[in-house]
Each structure stands twice: as structure tokens, then as C-alpha cells.
Structure 1
Amino acid sequence: MNGTTGTSPLVVVGDTLLDRDLVGTAERLAPDAPVPVLDDCSEHVRPGGAALAACLAARAGRAVTLVTALGTDPASLRVRGLLEAVMTVVALPLDGELPEKTRVLAGGRPMVRLDRGTGRAAAATDTARRAVSRAAALLVADYARGTADALRDELASRARRATLVWDPHPRGGPPVPGARLVTPTGAEARRFLGHDTEGGAELRATARMAEELVVRWRAAGVAVTLGPRGALLSNGDSPLLVPAAARYDGDACGAGDCFAATAAGLLGDGALPAEAVQGAVAAATRYVAEGGPRTAVREDVPEAPADAGDERDDGVRLARRVRAAGGTVVAAGGCFDLLHAGHVSMLQQARGIGDCLIVCLNSDASVRRRKGPGRPINPLADRIRVLRALQCVDAVVAFDEDTPENLVARLRPHVWVKGGDYSVEQMPEAAQLASWGGQAVLLPYVDGRSSTLLATRAAAARRPS
């Protein structure tokens, strides 16, 4: 969500799985059969399915209630232990054992997947019905294991009064009428409609499919997710393509859950569908960049640090994660008082240099000292919100000093970017970057664009002739 912290609670309804990754290296074949041998194998366990979507929403700072089927089998007990530390769990009875999905990965690439467990939700409960009936924002993550079916009447009734996002599964039932947003993948949309169109006409075909699904499902909107290309949003009329700001070759398992959870949360916060899809594309892109499911949920959930709500630490943690993954951290600084085409061009160029872009933003007091009385025109909260809405921006961090040197020392970016009429010699951060092997660079603004010039023109336009 571009670094924002969720505010409205979210109720997630759907089927939970236990996901297990066996990770190692495969550099030799077994002597008794021509199959790879996985060396230095380690196991990583996390909640999957609807539970992963719920965990991602909770990780973004939301109060989450998960309505799902869990039993007393070992997989259910292990998942419950992971979930109850970070959210409220409302359990439906489970008929059978919780489904488990095990991936074997070598060199970061899946080699084989093993599935076991055929458990399904047995029935709804009064507690689950109350959780749904009181929800202001709902995400249904339907993995075709019966939870959505058990609560279908309550979901259909609530869709008329609440914000409901439905993440469908081809083996599951259709979304209830009135869903605010339905989020199939491109492949799922084709299977739902029986289409097989691909290739050069795929985007046009996707738009037609989304339009048809809006009508078929009686949904307010359908967002077809397109993997690293972003998503296409349709309300049955003009489609909106929301491209991803960057592409990554990382593990995309769970990216769809991240997209749906983010979109549902933003819609619950009051965002427009286009804004929610833009935020969801940015969040899913960042999820893959940061390591995907490997970093989505920790089995040992630590206590939150005392300053966990400090957005400055969000930027520092993002920089640390990208560096640890071998990526390039880019940071840019400025006041960004009246965001204009020059700013956007510079920030887009900066994002293209590396794997994340963190904007260091002058506080109101800092801008006032630099620009004089009457500035900033837009207060800090508004400037942060506008910058975070840009897909090319991964985090925004404010600083109170005249220059961002203290903040830059904490971020330790590989590249520091400035735009406009500067020279590298005028940048106090240049020597600082060089001390850890980083580089300060200048990127051009679009000619004739500046916040000061825009403010001057606006003031002149208000004067009587």
C-alpha cells in the first residue's frame, strides 16, 4: 500500500491451507535414479490461502478477523498458532484434515509440489454469521474448500450494505451479486468464461472478458490481475489498465492474495476502485520484490518494537530488506510541495535505476525555513499521500532538519537522486554516499516546471485585472 498503514478493520472469509516450502540446492543427481538431490534443505511453514491474505492485511497494520475452517489435526493446530498472535480467528468446523501444500524449491525455483489433505468446511456457526453480518469491509478468498459456500447467504446479504471484495477460484462458486470488486487472474477469467484467447490480442480479450464478467457476476467492478504487467479494471464500460512500476523475477506465490487484501483494505478505507487497484498493484509488486512468501509471514512472531508505527522505520526496514536480497536501494529528496510533471518524471527515472525508491521529504518546518513564509502550500500529510499514490514510489519518509543527511545515514542507499538546478558539488549527501560506496546523481526535471513557478502563476491568476 505504498507504505501506508491501514485504518479500517477487515473481515477475511475463506479457506485456510498450510503452506510448506522445502528450500535447498540441487547440483547433483541421485545415484539410484536420475532425479535431483536437494542439499542443505530447510523448511519454511506459513499459513496459506485465505489465511495468507489475512496475514498480509494484518502485516499492513489492519485489525483483521479471519473466518475459516480449522480442525484439531496437526496442520490446523500449527496454522492456528501462527494466526492467533496477529488476528482474531473465528473457526468453522472442518470435515477432514486441513489441506497442506508443499513446494520443493532449488535455487529459488519450484521443482515439484505435493498436496495432501481434503478437509472442507462442515457448516457455518452463529459466531461466523455475526462476524460477517457486522463487517464494514469483507474479503472473500475462495479456495473452493467450502467456507464461502457455508456463509453464502450471509455474504450475499452483507454485499448490499458493506464493501465486499471476492477473490475467486475456478473450482469454487461464483461471487455473490453486488461485490464491489472481483479479482480473478487472467487465466482464471478465461476458464470462468471458457475463453482461450492469448497472444497479441490478449489485452483486448482481457478487457472483453472483464466486461462480460461484470455482467455475469453482477459486480460493480472486475480487476483481472496480469502478473508482472499489473491489472485491468473494468466496471462494464471503459477498462483501466494499471501497469506495475517494475518487474521482478522473484517468487510470486501469494501475490494475488496480497493484491486482493490490499484492494479490500483500501476500498474499506474509502478509496475509489481505481485508487484501490493502483495501491494493490504497487503492494503486490513490492511483495514480490521483497521475497514474496519467504518474507510474508514469520513462524516466530516477534513483539513489535516500541516505535513500530514510525514511518521512518518502515523506510529503513524496506531499504534493509532490499539490500539483503541483493537489490539496489534508491533514495530521492525534496520538498515536493506542488507535485508537477517534472517531479513525476524525475521520480519515475529514479525508480528505474534500482529495486526500490524511498522519498525523503522535508517536513513543513523544514520547507518553511528553506522556502520562506507561506510555504509549504500543501501540508506534510497531503504531500505524503500524493507521493505514496505514485506507483514508482515505494516509501515516503519525512525529516525535520534542513538537509536529510541523518536520514540518509539510516537508509544507506546505493543511489541518491536529486532533480532540478543542482550540481553534485552542491549536494551535502554526495560525500556521505561515497563513504559507503554509494553514488549521488542528478536527474533533469521537465523544463519550465517548478513548484515555485506554479505558485507564482496561481497567485497571479487570482489577482484582479
Structure 2
Amino acid sequence: MNARTDTTRTRIVVVGDTLLDVDVTGTSERLSPDAPVPVLDVQDEVRRAGGAGLVATMLARDGHDVTLVTVLGQDDRGVELRDGMPGVRVVAGDSGVATPVKTRVRVGDHALVRIDEACATPPVPDVTADMTAALEGADAIVVADYGRGLAAAPALREALTRVAETTPVVWDPHPKGAQPVPGIAVATPNAAEARGFSGATGSGVPFATAAGEQLVADWSAHAVAVTMGEKGALLRTDAGDSRFVPAPSVTAGDPCGAGDRLAAGVAVALAQGASTEDAVAAGVADASAYLASGGVASLLAPPAPVTVPGSDRDAIRVAHDVRAAGGTVVATGGCFDLLHAGHARTLSAARALGDCLVVCLNSDSSVRGLKGPDRPIMTQEDRVELLLALDCVDAVIVFDESTPDEALRRFQPDVWAKGGDYSADELPESRTLAEWGGRVVTVPFHPGRSTTRLAAALERVG
């Protein structure tokens, strides 16, 4: 199954430490006369839930039924956190300390300084019966340990160990936190955390493999996914299997929350029945999409309707960003069933016409309507993945109709490129592009290369 586009509502319980995050952004064009330090002219200040609260916020915006099990300070900031997580059911005990605040000061994409208030590690908090009871009946649980003691509470650990026998638990550890309880489905340490926990040395995939193997044994976990930033993740299972999950290439600025997004994506996929391998792949893809959409800043925008496929959002975002930078948006379309050299040459030629290329791809049902019940040979998920693996393709949008007209209207490309032995004015998309002043261009056609001929040849060989 493709967990990223499945909009089934699931019940996710998030367990962990909650902080108040404050993002202060502005411009800096001069130094202070009192000291050689930059002066920030504040343009915006955003206050939001951080830590486990950020994970819960992400999942609630995705349309899931979310319960946050945490502890909060009995102060105004604790009240602010409760009020700042709409759609999240909060089951909280008393932290016994003031609410921790992390303020990040930024100039554009550049971090200037971070200011921590009340962030010293507190004693392990008490856990209420309501907090442990909230774990029951979940489809999946995410433990977002931020090293402030909740994940070390004995009563909570006992409850999590019991629930892990029947419910997938994803544990996102912290260098100062407790080790995961036995029996969890997946732990998601980053490379630095995995190095500290395991003592493994080296770098890259060999290091991540060794660290994952060690941590699976040390933590009695079913699997450990060592996340490796923009490279992806290395998954090691208790069956002794290792799998590298590459991340899609994205241009990203602020990485805040990417690990949270990954853990949340893994939990949702497991809740919806995905295998561990597919769940980690879904989490990696979700983290990359989160970064590509602007990271934590994207949480400030109104949530997108859950019925819009992820590929649509990516295509619309790419078109918007390129157009905002003054670039030219190019689109092309087709079934692309069994990619061959003719496809590659046509796509490359189309990309050369502008600054990005969005491929409008016929869905499986659309291909069947055009080609017959035996097509497509490859599912739309596989066709999307193969297209995105090409350097010349920036995004893919899938459409169910027989023509891409409605898909084109969603992002309004400047150029529609089509390979063929006909003139541009003969293409049916010409009338659609004319609605917003776009133009239609034909690119070189390569006779003798076709999916139909390739499929027939494969059938004869078989």
C-alpha cells in the first residue's frame, strides 16, 4: 500500500516532552553601537508547540485522531501550549517545573542565536492513571523523547512495554533521554544519536549498519532506522536484514522538525498496515516533502485538504516557486508505461524549454480507458517513482481523466511540450493552454520506440 496518499483516519497517540517554541525572524543591516553584534529588526514572532507537541500538531493537521500524553507546567505558558494545539486531545500531568521555552532568532534562512529558558533537565515527573490509560486502543504510538524525563517514568515505561506487544510503537530517542522499552516496532535515532548510543565508529552506510545492528540488540527492538539527513535512512531489523532507504532530492533550508515528521510518517504507515520497510520509506518521503514545503513554517499555513494527492501538492509547489523566481514552468504528459529511451529523450528536451518540468501522468484507470484492460503494465506508483528518479523531472501530477486539461488548470504551466510527428496547433491541449496565455511546443519524436512494441517483445520472450 502507499501510506503517503492513504487518507484513512487513524488514532495516533504521541507520548513525550512538550516545549514552547518561539521563532523570531527579521532583518539585520547594521551593527550595534554598544558592541560588534548585529541588530535585528523584528518582522515576525511565531509561538507554537514544540517537542512532542510539534509531532501531535503535524498529525492533527494531516487529519488523524491525535492524543498527546505529556506533562505541562502550571503556568501561563502551559495554558498557551494547550490552547495552541487545535484538534489534539491533551492528557497531561504536572511537570512540576516551569514550561521550557526555546526561542530561535533568524535572519532569513540564517540562524542568529537560540535562547533557552527553563530548559534545565527536571526530575522524572509523576505519571497519572489517565496518562497510561490513554495509550489503550491506539492504532500506533509515537514516543517523542526530548530528554526531559517523561520517557523515563517507570509507570509510563511499564504501560508502553505492555502496549508494544500488540500496537506498533515508534520511538524517536534523545541523547539525554531514556532508552526505548523492549518490543518497539521501530526506533529512529539520527546518526549522531546512533553513534552516541551504540559506540559505533566510521561513517555512511557501513557506520549506520553497524549502529543499527548494535541498537536492535541493546534495545530489544524489532527494527532501528538510523536517519542520515538528506541521504535517507538505514533500516536494520531483528531478522538481520539491512535496507538503505534513499531520500528524494530536495532543496531545504530550516531542518527543524524533520525528524519529528519522519517518525510521525512511520507511525501512520504502520497504523495503516504497511510493512516496516515500507513504513520507513513513507517516513523518509514525508520528511523530504515537509522540508521541500518550507519545514516548520509550512505549519503556519492553512492545512491542505486531505483529499489532494501528495503528487499534486508537490507539482503545485514546484510551479509556484519557479514562477515566483521569474522562471518558466514546462509540463508534458503521457502514460509512461515501461520507460524507454524515447521517453527519456523527449523528457530531457522538454526540460530544456524552461526552469522546471512537471509531468502529467495518466492514472491506472485512465490508462485502462485508453489502452485496454491489460494496461498499464506498471502501476502508477511505480511510474511516478521512475519518473522522479530522472534528473530532468521536477514533479509529477497524476490525473484520472482521459486528457490532462483539469490537471493543467491546477498549476497553469507556461509551456506544454509534447513529443510527436504533428504540429503544435493540432494538439488538443492548445486550447487549454490558451486560457492563461501558455504556449504549446513539440519536441523531437523518436520513431520505432514505443511501450507497445516493447511490451510485445517482452511477451514473445516470456
TM-score (norm 2): 0.82
Q: Which has the higher contact order (CA 8 A, sep 6+)?
A: 1
Q: 1-side partners of 2:397 and 2:130: how far apart?
A: 40
CA pair 318-127 structure 1, distance change in 2 beyond 3 A: farther
Q: Give the AA of the match of 1:260.
A: A
Q: 1-side partners of 2:73 and 2:364: how far apart?
A: 53
Q: CA deviation at 1:29?
A: 0.6
Answer whether contact 1:360 1:399 (CA < 8 A) is retained.
no
Which one of 50, 66, 69 corresponds to residue 67 of structure 1?
A: 69
CA pair 37-94 structure 1, distance change in 2 beyond 3 A: same
Q: 1-side partners of 2:461 and 2:81: how far apart?
A: 62
State the SS of the aligned residue for 2:289.
helix
Q: Does 1:112 align with 2:109?
A: no
Counterpart for residue 187 of structure 2: 182
CA pair 446-408 structure 1, distance change in 2 beyond 3 A: same
Q: 2-side partners of 1:173 and 1:87: how far apart?
A: 25
Answer whether contact 1:311 1:397 (CA < 8 A) is retained.
no
Answer whether contact 1:384 1:396 (CA < 8 A) is retained.
no
Tell me the percent identity: 39
Counterpart for residue 404 of structure 2: 404
Counterpart for residue 139 of structure 2: 136
State the SS of the aligned residue for 1:409.
helix
Q: 2-side partners of 1:278 and 1:342: how far apart?
A: 28
Answer whether contact 2:363 2:380 (CA < 8 A) is retained.
no
Q: Give the AA of the match of 2:194.
A: A
Counterpart for residue 266 of structure 2: 263
State the SS of the aligned residue for 2:176.
coil
State the SS of the aligned residue for 2:192.
helix
Counterpart for residue 248 of structure 2: 245
Tell me the alpha carbon deviations over residues 34-71 of structure 1, each in whole angstroms, 9 at most, x when there is no partner: 00011243101221111111222222222211111123
CA pair 86-341 structure 1, distance change in 2 beyond 3 A: farther
Q: CA deviation at 1:7?
A: 3.4
Answer whether contact 2:340 2:449 (CA < 8 A) is retained.
no
Q: CA deviation at 1:368?
A: 5.1
Counterpart for residue 126 of structure 2: 123
Tell me the alpha carbon deviations over residues 170-212 of structure 1, each in whole angstroms, 9 at most, x when there is no partner: 1001111111111000011111123453xxx432112111111
Answer whether contact 1:286 1:394 (CA < 8 A) is retained.
no
Q: Give the AA of the match of 1:105.
A: R
Paired residues in the alignment total 444
Answer whether contact 2:22 2:104 (CA < 8 A) is retained.
yes
Counterpart for residue 276 of structure 2: 273
Q: 2-side partners of 1:156 and 1:351: how far apart?
A: 55
Answer whether contact 2:175 2:193 (CA < 8 A) is retained.
yes
Answer whether contact 1:25 1:39 (CA < 8 A) is retained.
yes
Superposed counterparts of 1:378-417, under 5 Å: 383-386=379-382, 396-400=397-401, 402-413=402-413
Superposed counterparts of 1:274-289, under 5 Å: 274-289=277-292
Q: Does 1:319 align with 2:316?
A: yes
Answer whether contact 1:9 1:62 (CA < 8 A) is retained.
yes
Q: CA deviation at 1:285?
A: 1.0
Counterpart for residue 231 of structure 1: 233
Counterpart for residue 223 of structure 2: 221
Q: 1-side partners of 2:431 and 2:110: how far apart?
A: 40
Which one of 161, 167, 172 corresponds to residue 156 of structure 1?
A: 161
Q: 2-side partners of 1:282 and 1:313: how far apart?
A: 10
Q: Provide the aligned C-alpha RMSD in A.
A: 3.8
Q: Give the AA of the match of 1:56.
A: M
Q: CA deviation at 1:213?
A: 1.1
Tell me the alpha carbon deviations over residues 151-182 of structure 1, each in whole angstroms, 9 at most, x when there is no partner: 11100111111111100001001111111111
Moved more, 69-78 or 223-232: 69-78
Q: Give the AA of the match of 1:176.
A: V
CA pair 4-343 structure 1, distance change in 2 beyond 3 A: farther
Q: CA deviation at 1:341?
A: 6.8
State the SS of the aligned residue for 1:58.
helix
CA pair 7-459 structure 1, distance change in 2 beyond 3 A: farther
Q: 2-side partners of 1:359 and 1:59: how far apart?
A: 28
State the SS of the aligned residue for 2:134.
helix
Q: Give the AA of the match of 2:168.
A: T
Answer whether contact 1:258 1:283 (CA < 8 A) is retained.
yes
Q: Does 1:93 align with 2:94?
A: yes
TM-score (norm 1): 0.81
Q: 2-side partners of 1:312 and 1:8: how far apart?
A: 18
Gaps of 5+ in 2: none
Q: CA deviation at 1:290?
A: 0.9
Which one of 278, 295, 300 corresponds to residue 298 of structure 2?
A: 295
